[in-house]
A and B are shown apart, each in its own frame.
Chain A
Amino acid sequence: MLWFLLRRTFLGALVLWLITMGVFALFFVTPNNVARSLAGRQATPETIQLVEARLGLDQPIWKQYLDFVRNALHGDLGYDYYHQQPVTEIIVAALPITVSLAVGAAVLWMLLGVTNGVISAVRSGSFADRALTTFALFFYSMPTFLLGLLLLYFLYFQLTLSGYPFFPPGGYVPFTDDPYEWTRHMVLPWVTLALVLAATYTRLTRGSMLDVLGEDYIRTARSKGLRESRVVVVHGLRSALTPVVTQFGIDLGQLVGGVVVTETVFSMPGLGKTAIDAINRQDLPVILGIVLFASAAVVVANILVDLAYAMLDPRVRLH
Chain B
Amino acid sequence: MTDPPPTEVHDEPSAAPEHESRREPAITARSPWVLAGRRLLRDRVAIVCLVVIVLIVLLAVFAPLVASITGHGPNQQYRDTGLSPDGLPRAPSGEFWLGTDSLGRDILVRIAYGARISLLVGVVATALTVTIGVVVGLAAGYLGGVVDTILARVIDVVLSVPFLLVAIALVSIFGAGLLNTVLVIGAFSWASMARIVRGQVLSLREREFVEAARSMGASSARIMFVDILPNVLAQVIVYTTLLIPVVIVVQATLSFLGLGLPAPTADWGGMISEAQNYYTTSWWFVLFPGLALLATTLAFNLFGDGVRDAFDPRAEGLTRGWKG
- A and B in contact, CB less than 8 Å: yes
> A: which residues have CB within 8 A of B?
11, 14-16, 18-19, 22-23, 26-27, 30, 32, 124-126, 129-130, 137-138, 140-146, 149-150, 152-153, 157, 196, 199-200, 203-204, 207-208, 210-211, 213-216, 243, 247, 254, 257-258, 260-261, 264, 272, 275-276, 279-280, 282, 287, 290-291, 294-295, 298-299, 302
Q: How far is the CA of A242 from the CA of B193 in the complex (A)?
A: 21
Q: Which of B273-305 contact A (CB under 8 A)?
A: 273, 276, 279-280, 283, 286, 290, 293-294, 297-298, 300-302, 305
Q: Assess whether B298 is in contact with A138, with CB atoms less than 8 Å apart.
A: yes
Stretch at the interface among B54-62, B104-112, B156-164: B156-164
Q: How far is the CA of A98 from the CA of B17 in the complex (A)?
A: 48
B145 within 8 A of A: no
Q: Binary interface profile of B, 125-156, with partner A (CB < 8 Å = 1, else 0)?
A: 00000000000000000000000000001001
Residue of B157, B165, B245 with highest tally of chain A CB at under 10 A: B165
- Beyond A210-B315, A276-B168, A291-B162, whether A141 also contacts B173 by CB under 8 A is no
Say how far A15's CB is from chain B's closest CB, in angstroms: 5
Stretch at the interface among B30-38, B90-98, B217-225, B249-257: B249-257
Q: Assess whether B162 is in contact with A295, with CB atoms less than 8 Å apart.
A: yes
B317 within 8 A of A: yes
Q: Assess whether A214 is in contact with B318, with CB atoms less than 8 Å apart.
A: yes
Q: Chain A residues near B86 (CB, 8 Å)? A: none
B236 within 8 A of A: no
Q: Which of B205-252 contact A (CB under 8 A)?
A: 245, 249, 252
CB nearest to B164 among chain A residues: A260
B23 within 8 A of A: no
Q: Chain B residues near A295 (CB, 8 Å)? A: 160-162
- Beyond A19-B157, A140-B5, A145-B272, whether A291 also contacts B169 by CB under 8 A is yes
Interface of B is mostly: helix
Report 18 cross-chain contacts, Cβ distance below 8 Å, ordered by A residue: A14-B153, A18-B157, A19-B161, A22-B157, A23-B166, A124-B317, A124-B318, A125-B317, A125-B322, A129-B322, A143-B294, A145-B269, A145-B273, A203-B5, A204-B6, A210-B314, A211-B8, A264-B257
Say how far B104's CB is from chain A's closest CB, in angstroms: 22
> B257's contact among A157, A207, A261, A298, by CB below 8 Å, is which?
A261
Q: Chain B residues near A27 (CB, 8 Å)? A: 169, 173
Q: Chain B residues near A215 (CB, 8 Å)? A: 14
Q: How far is the CA of A144 from the CA of B283 in the complex (A)?
A: 18
Q: Assess whether B301 is in contact with A146, with CB atoms less than 8 Å apart.
A: no
Q: How far is the CA of A108 from the CA of B279 in the complex (A)?
A: 27
Residue of B6, B14, B297 with highest tally of chain A CB at under 10 A: B6
* Those 9 A-B pairs whose CB atoms lie nearest each other, nearest first: A207-B8, A125-B317, A294-B162, A124-B317, A141-B297, A141-B298, A298-B160, A200-B5, A141-B301
Say how far B111's CB is from chain A's closest CB, in angstroms: 14
Residue of B5, B14, B321 with highest tally of chain A CB at under 10 A: B5
B178 within 8 A of A: no
> B321's contact among A23, A125, A157, A287, by CB below 8 Å, is which?
A125
- Beyond A124-B318, A140-B301, A261-B257, whether A279 also contacts B5 by CB under 8 A is no
Q: Which of B1-55 contact A (CB under 8 A)?
A: 1, 5-6, 8, 10, 14, 17
Q: Assess whether B276 is in contact with A258, with CB atoms less than 8 Å apart.
A: no
Q: How far is the CA of A145 from the CA of B250 in the complex (A)?
A: 11
